[in-house]
Amino acid sequence: MRKDHDLRELLKGYGFLAPVCALLLAFVFLPVAGTLLDSLHRDVTFLPRRFIGLGNYRSLSSDPGFWQSLRFTGLFTLVSVPLELALGLAFALLLEHPTSARGFLRAGVLLPWAIPAAVSGRVFELIYNVQYGLANALVTGIGLSEGPVHWLGTSAGAFLALVAADAWKTTPFVAILLLAGLSAIPEDLYRQAEVDRAGPLQRFFRVTLPLLRPVLVVALLFRTIDSLRVFDLVFVLTGGGPGGSTTSLSLYGYRFFVGGDFGYGSAVSVVLFLLAFMLSLLYLRASRFGREIA
């Protein structure tokens, strides 16, 4: 009798899980497996499909365009994510501070995040424009530069312009996430620390930061994956130029999909997927994420 009951409970449990599993299977595992399979084929619309093993990956390894985009994507993630986390944390701490305008400020900070990246890319394109851009009006106006600066004209300039635009857009996301984490830290701990004569810096490093860590890891994870996949901002702001120096991996792969070479494009996607997947695993491990949640 009791066993029957357990079985029913068990079935009920799996029943509840089934829709999620089906969705994951249909929209995550199958596409990933399909892409993986495609990447092992010469899958070109104008030639017969043929299994070529790791042939696409071998071609990738000697493709300067691929290495250039891998370098850009890695560097972009490495620079933009820490910057966004630091700025986001600063904003979160400021917004935590009780003022009468807190609600208004919190909503205001979220605005850039609510604007689609394609739109903010266009806006930044106008800001950086040589002839009539705001950035040039500023630097020439305050005398920092005599003539107009061609912001997007060099690889380094275009790179920094992208980082700035990305930080502007995604810092609010980090800030809101961390703000939620901050408000979950009990007031008592701070009061106790004050009783123990801990200064503001000590309170921040001994209380705030350790208790914020799980949320920080989540923010780091989201931002890393997102910035590895960066597409829309680059597509609109620089188009991958100058000279391909700001072509992200997803933009590089996308061009092969448009050109009808699904096998090669898939290989680029798989590399990107593995990169994101391994970094995520690394983060979760390093932060002992699972244990803390439990």
- Note the residue count of the chain: 294
Residues near other proteins, by CB under 8 A: 31, 34-35, 38, 42, 44-47, 55, 59, 62-65, 125, 129-131, 150, 152-155, 158, 238-245, 247, 254-262, 264-266, 269
Is residue 106 within 8 Å of residue 95, measured between CB atoms?
A: yes
Q: What is the dihedral of CA 119, 234, 232, 131, to 10 degrees?
A: 20
Cβ proximity to other proteins: between 117 and 175 the closer is 117
CA proximity to 78, closest of 234, 279, 224, 255: 224
CA distances from 280 to 149, 205, 220, 230, 277 (A): 39, 25, 9, 16, 5
Contact between 171 and 88 under an 8 Å Cβ cutoff? The reply is yes
* Minimum distance from residue 278 beta carbon to other proteins (Å): 19
Contact 247, 69 (CB under 8 A): yes
Cβ of residue 3: shortest distance to other proteins, in angstroms? Answer: 44
Alpha carbon distance 217, 291 (integer Å): 13
Distance CA(175)–CA(33), nearest Å, equals: 35
* Distance of closest approach, residue 239 Cβ to other proteins, in angstroms: 5
Rg of the chain in Å (alpha carbons) = 24
Contacts of 98 (CB under 8 A, 6+ apart): none
Considering the complex, state which of residue 158 and residue 212 has its C-beta at the smaller distance from other proteins. 158
Nearest distance in Å: CB 284, other proteins: 23
- Angle of CA points 223, 224, 225, to nearest 5°: 95
Name the residue type at position 18: A
